[in-house]
Every structure is written in C-alpha cells, then in structure tokens.
Structure 1
Amino acid sequence: MARVTLSTIAEMTGLSKFAVSRSLSGKDGVSDETRLRVQQVAAELGYTRAVVEVEETVLGVVFHDTDLINSELHLLIQSGFQAQAQRCGYQVRMCWTHLPQEIEAFARGCSGVALVGPHPMSTMQRIRDLGVHVVRNGWMDPFDPFDIVSGTDHEGGSAVANYLLELGHRTIAYVHGTPGYRGRVERFYGVREVFERYDDVSFREMKFQAEMRFTEHLQAAHADGFFPTAFFCAHDGMALTVVSELLRLGYKIPEDASVIGFGDYSAATQISPQLTTVKVQGREIGAGLVRVLDDRINERMSPEIPLRLLFSGHLVIRASAGPVADALPKSIAL
C-alpha cells in the first residue's frame, strides 16, 4: 500500500499541503473546522507523521491577465516580489490569469498567494478556504477582511493639486479616461479635496471610454468657456496621449499648458518634453506583498486583524509642467 503523505491528505480534502501540515501540527492559520476535517481524513487513511516532512515554503503571485494598462507596474511588482522572496528563503511561482478555478488550482501548491490586479473578493475567499494565506495589491471595499498592499493614490492626487496651485494654475482638468479603475478615482478624489478649498479654482473631470477622444472633450470644454492651463492625467499612458494631441493642435508645453501623469513608467522619459509625474513604488509594493505573507506564515500578526500596507509615491518634476502663462492663447484652433 502506498505511503500516506501530506500531499495525499491535501488531495483528499481539497486543501493545500500547507494547510494540511498546519492542521496536523496544531499551528494557527487554519479554522477549527478545517483542522478537524484534516485530522479525521488523516485518521481514516492511517497517516503517521514522518520525523522529517517539511511543509513547502512556496509563495505564489497571480497577475490579472486582462489588466493591460498596468503591465509595466506588474513587471516592477514581479521584480520586487522575487527579490524579497529570495531574501526570505521562499521559492516563487507565478501565473497570469483571472479565472477563479485556475487561481484556486494554483494556490493549492503554495503557502501564501499574492493577487495583483482587479481580482474579486470571491477569488480571495476561495484561496483562504484552502487554508492558504492571501494578500492583494489593489483596492477593495471598506473593511474587507483581507490584507492589502498598495500605493497612495489619494495622497498622490492631493500632492499634484498642491503643486499646480504653487505654479499658479487655477483652471485645471483631470483627464480620467476609461472609467472603472479604482486607483484613478482615488486620484481624482485627492485632487478634488484640495481644489474644493479654493474659490478661484475651476476644475473639470474628463471621463470617456476611448482614450483617443481627448480632443472631443477639450472641444466641449472650450465651448463651455473652460480653458484649462493644466492637465493632470490618471496615468502616464493617458498623459502621453494628451501631450501628443496638444502638440498636434499647436500648443507649446509647458508654456501654453502643463501636463502631469501618474506612474513614472519608462515612457515618461521617452517623450519631449519629458513628463512630470507621480512615482509609483512598484518594486517596493512587490516586496511588501512578500513581507505580509511572511508575517502571516510565521504568525507575527493577529489573524483577526486585516492589514493595510501603503507605499508612498513622490512627485518627479520634469519639463512638461511649469508656471501658468499670463493668458492661454485663444487663437489655437481645435
């Protein structure tokens, strides 16, 4: 008869090998119900714990495969995750998917899993039900019972607003672009929070599905008598579109209009003028995901308290933003 191992019990119970080991050793990290079920299956199979049977120390990271707009950020997170996992002595597995059943199958071979991108709460719960620790990079609803590691979107938006005010800008547009991304909304909230304190500031949000429709919204703004001297864009890719379109329309940047992005990705320094933007700490976020999983695995934090770990960005000042001109040229034809 084949020897009964942790893997055998994991297969029978549908749990991870890590959760089975924690259940049989009496350690925290699994529910009482899971522990009892594992112990019952182990007894039925006649399992005898080996003198040396080490639980796997594998960390997994799952990138949402349809979130293309953040692909460069995901590469930075991957780099930080791998480096920190190596320093902590973990092996790393990775996959790119958004399908819950694939993520669940992947998680069975891990001690902890980090989800990167817009994965739903139900997917995180499926991982937790396996007895596997789970953390996420991204936004969730208030008081969700999961650990989250992210950047400071709201704070970044407020910082940009203050910087534009210092430059003398009082007519400002937030180029949101495609709706539905929580981080973009938080940046908008951060900007709006600052501008609401100033009676002399005119502020407008430009929200649209196709990013090449920026010119249409600029035309609509002008028709309403709104002539922005500065554009804060929800991400660097949007900022590149805005810079390109403004230059095509005859604007000089930053003399006629300032443009600020968000992310500080490679394209920010590959255009002229180079882009003023907010740095997102991608590598540090990746390393933070590992630190949270490591703390959970080693029981350094109460399992009853969800963690929020934020890495602050900073403003990277380049040539695309400058002091407001005396008057925006009205002769520029759209």
Structure 2
Amino acid sequence: MGTRGRVTLQTIAREVGLSKYAVSRSLAGKSGVSEETRERIREMAERLGYIKPAAQSGSNDIAVAFHDLDPVNSELYMQIQNGVQGEAHRLGMGLRVHWTHSARQLEDLARACAGLLLVGPHDREAIAAATATGIPIVRFGWVDPLEQADQVSGTDHEAGQAVIQYLVELGHRSIAYVYGVPGYRGRRERFYGAREIAEAHPDVTLHVMQFDEQGGFGDAYRALKEKGVKPTAFFCAHDGLALTVVSELLGQGYRIPDDVSVVGFGDFSPATQISPSLTTVRMEGQECGAVGLRLLLERIERPRLPSDPARRINVASRIIERRSSGPCRGRVRVADIDNPADKGVGQAVGGG
C-alpha cells in the first residue's frame, strides 16, 4: 500500500462516513452499533492497516451538564440523571456528569467529549460556546421557536389540558390555576393548555392566581373571595405550590377533597408524604433522560447535516390520582355565605 500516515479512528470514520465515536465503540466491541455497521468498520480498519492501541482514552465519553442554579427543578434533574446513567450503564459506555452554569466550563466539557446533553436553563452564551465546538448536543429545556436544536421535553401544554378536562369531568366549574411567580416557561405552557379546555366549556371559569410564593397564597385567596369567587378546585403549577395550597386550605377549615380539590404538577417525593396525598401530574424524567441519550447517540453515529431538521421528542406525562381530588359536591361553607354573588375576576377566562 506504500507509506502512509498513521491510521487513526478519525481516519476510519472519514472513510466510512460515520462518527469517530461510532468507530470507537464498534472496534471496542461495545453495543450501540448495528452488526452491518460494525462489519463495514472492521473491513475498513483492516484495509487501512489500523493498529488498535493497547489502551483507549476516555475522550469518547458522553457528558451531561445540569444547570446548577435552578432549585425549583432539582428533583426533576435527578430523575433525568438517573435515566441517563441507567441507559449509559445498559450500553456499557462512559458518562461524565457536571453541574455548572459557566459558559467556559461547558465549552471545555464539550471539547473533551463526543456528545453533550444540556439540562436546564443554560443561557445563550453558554449554549453558543458549546455548540461552536461542533459536537452533537441534545437539550432538555426550552428552545426558541423553530430553533434548529435537538430537544427532549415533557408535555406541559397537554398536561394543562388533561388536568382541566379531568376536573371538569369531576363536575368542577370554578377552577383556580395557581400560577405562583410568573416567568417560568413550563407554567405558562400548562396555563395555555388549561385555558384551551376551559374556553371549550361555556360554563367553566378558570381563575389565575399569581403571587409571591413566600406565604403569598393566603392573601391571594382572600382577594379572590372578596370578589365573590369560590373555586371548587385548584390546579397548581408545581407540587411545591400544591403543598402550600393544601396546608392553607386545611388551616382555614376546608376539607380536601370534600370541599375543594387540589391537583399538583411534578409528582415529586412530598406528594405522597402529605395528608391527603396529592393528585398530581407525573413528569417522566427518567424516561426523558434515557430517550435523550439514545437520540444523542444517533446524532453521533450519523452526524446531522445542515439540511437535516432538528428533532423534538416529547415524553408524555400522566395524571396520578390520589386522595386530594374528588367530585364537586356543590357544598358551600358557612364562612363563605357573606359573599352571595359571584362578581367575576379580571383574569378569569371561560364562561361565567
């Protein structure tokens, strides 16, 4: 064959039109590569005279970077981490886990790995720095409209629709969406879904409750009642808010779910540690993690061309029914009789 330069994994990858990562896994006998691809790589390696090093470095590992300044979603992030690690273990591959919000650290991490999973609200600078390295990236978190970025996410909009439909079927017609602090994209999407279903039922009214989450629900609820509004159900944008709502309502003498129903979002550990246990929406964080890793491996094995569309993969959530929700029984507490007329709310949507 004549004198040639040293044959490397990158040399083989270039010849067969695959990623260096796919070539490395194939020659190491690891999973994640089809038998047809493995045979093609083996034949090319033999033809080029590739000599396998005595030991391979860990430079072909996958990395997952979690945003470290987002305590609201910390339990969800742990579920995603468990899913990524479980899938990596099943495939017999290396994985680096980092918690950071630093653009420089993300860039360094991307340069040292074959692919990167980004979890959480990393800012534009950090995402741009990682993307500029040219490695495949899959994101868990919100992307801009039509942004050409691969993303795995839950189904916030659908979840909002499903919860209101669930409560309507239980007979509830005056429902409060406990938003808490505005600004979270997921909470907005859940509200948009909830509003769609409420607007489809002329006799359903959806009231929006926004407030400072540090003890603000009590004041917000009193203001609602002063306007003559008495919700029979509360859909809370996060389980943490739901715990506050349950505690406040019980303290005011309400019986849950006899007088009012409460539904949360997230299905985090406290949901089963309170009484009554919380009906909520389970975000399948572990499955999201596993799906995200599989998508990243596909992108590594078959690099995305500029003309290829980005992928959006949604992992459907589900309602977990427990004891905090029940049929609307049309009961009015004696303490509420002093507000005989429902005067409506400025932020209400749907029927009267």
Q: Normalization by structure 1: what TM-score?
A: 0.83
Residue 225 of structure 1: CA displacement?
Answer: 1.0
CA contact 1:172–1:230 (8 Å) conserved in 2: yes
CA contact 1:72–1:265 (8 Å) conserved in 2: yes
- Specify which of 322, 326, 333 is matched with residue 322 of structure 1: 326
Q: What's the secondary structure of 1:331's corresponding residue?
A: helix
1:187 maps to a residue whose letter is R
Q: 1:300 to 1:171 in 2, by over 3 A?
A: same
Residue 90 of structure 1: CA displacement?
Answer: 2.1
CA contact 2:237–2:265 (8 Å) conserved in 1: yes
Residue 197 of structure 1: CA displacement?
Answer: 1.1
Question: Is the counterpart of residue 185 in structure 1 residue 188 in structure 2?
Answer: yes
- What's the C-alpha RMSD, in Å, of the aligned pairs? 2.6
Aligned to 1:215: 218
- Once structures 1 and 2 are overlaid, which stretch shifts more, 182-191 or 49-58? 49-58
Question: Is the counterpart of residue 310 in structure 1 residue 329 in structure 2?
Answer: no
Instruction: Give the alignment of 1:1-334 within 5 angstroms.
Output: 21=10, 25=14, 27=17, 51-52=51-52, 56-299=59-302, 304-331=308-335
Residue 140 of structure 1: CA displacement?
Answer: 1.5
CA contact 1:229–1:258 (8 Å) conserved in 2: yes
Q: Separation in 1 of the partners of 2:96 and 2:207?
A: 44
CA contact 2:213–2:241 (8 Å) conserved in 1: no
Q: Separation in 1 of the partners of 2:84 and 2:275?
A: 33
1:316 maps to a residue whose letter is I
Q: What's the secondary structure of 2:335's corresponding residue?
A: coil
2:112 maps to a residue whose letter is G
Number of matched pairs: 300
Structure 2 gaps of 5+ residues are 21-48, 339-352
Q: Separation in 1 of the partners of 2:250 and 2:68?
A: 33
Q: 1:143 to 1:328 in 2, by over 3 A?
A: same
Q: 1:299 to 1:206 in 2, by over 3 A?
A: same
Q: Separation in 2 of the partners of 1:301 and 1:114?
A: 16
Q: Separation in 2 of the partners of 1:79 and 1:190?
A: 29
Q: What's the secondary structure of 1:132's corresponding residue?
A: coil
CA contact 2:154–2:315 (8 Å) conserved in 1: yes
Q: Separation in 2 of the partners of 1:129 and 1:5?
A: 28
CA contact 1:64–1:96 (8 Å) conserved in 2: yes
Q: Separation in 1 of the partners of 2:283 and 2:92?
A: 26
- Which structure is larger by alpha-carbon Rg, 1 or 2? 2
Residue 77 of structure 1: CA displacement?
Answer: 0.5
Structure 1 gaps of 5+ residues are 7-17, 31-48
Q: What's the secondary structure of 2:131's corresponding residue?
A: helix
CA contact 2:250–2:256 (8 Å) conserved in 1: yes
- Once structures 1 and 2 are overlaid, which stretch shifts more, 220-229 or 118-127? 118-127
Q: What's the secondary structure of 1:271's corresponding residue?
A: coil
Q: 1:52 to 1:155 in 2, by over 3 A?
A: same
Identity of aligned pairs, percent? 45
CA contact 1:295–1:301 (8 Å) conserved in 2: no
Q: Separation in 2 of the partners of 1:150 and 1:57?
A: 25
Q: 1:223 to 1:108 in 2, by over 3 A?
A: same
Q: Separation in 2 of the partners of 1:72 and 1:115?
A: 16
CA contact 2:116–2:135 (8 Å) conserved in 1: yes
CA contact 2:18–2:303 (8 Å) conserved in 1: no
Q: What's the secondary structure of 2:215's corresponding residue?
A: helix
Q: Normalization by structure 2: what TM-score?
A: 0.79
Q: Separation in 1 of the partners of 2:94 and 2:168?
A: 48
CA contact 2:63–2:96 (8 Å) conserved in 1: yes
